[in-house]
Each structure stands twice: as structure tokens, then as C-alpha cells.
């Protein structure tokens, strides 16, 4: 099984917004997203900085 590529939180949010997910709020480097069916997810945007990648 192949591994998923490492992407930034902002790139992930851009993709998720195309399928009906809205950013409801942010706090620091965490984005709170809500799907149209009501499910809530929190996406951090600091992992790439920890790994030492630039984006």
C-alpha cells in the first residue's frame, strides 16, 4: 500500500472546501471545519513546520 503525500493543512482545507466543507472558525494554527451533514473536524496547520518543510 502506498503512503499518502504530506500536504499542508491549508492545502487540505482548499480541497475539502470543494466538496462542501466550510471553515467555521480558527484558533491559532487550528481550523475548525463543518461539513454540510453537520460533522465537525479540526485540522492543524503546524505539522509541516515541525517536519521542516516549506510550503
- The Cβ-side half-sphere exposure at 16, using a 13 Å CA radius, reads 22
Three cell numbers at 38?
A: 453537520
Q: What does pLDDT average to over the chain? A: 82
Looking at the predicted structure, is the pLDDT value of residue 44 above 60? yes
Cβ 31 vs Cβ 19: under 8 Å: no
In whole angstroms, what is the distance from residue 49 CA to residue 35 CA?
A: 27
pLDDT in tens, 12-33: 889 999 999 999 999 888 899 9
pTM for the complete prediction?
Answer: 0.67
- The share of the chain scoring above pLDDT 70, in percent, equals 84
Amino acid at each position: 500500500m502506498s503512503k499518502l503525500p504530506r500536504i499542508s493543512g491549508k492545502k487540505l482545507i482548499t480541497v475539502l472546501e470543494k466538496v462542501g466543507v466550510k471553515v467555521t472558525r480558527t484558533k491559532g494554527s487550528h481550523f475548525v471545519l463543518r461539513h454540510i451533514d453537520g460533522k465537525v473536524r479540526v485540522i492543524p496547520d503546524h505539522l509541516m513546520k515541525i517536519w521542516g518543510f516549506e510550503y
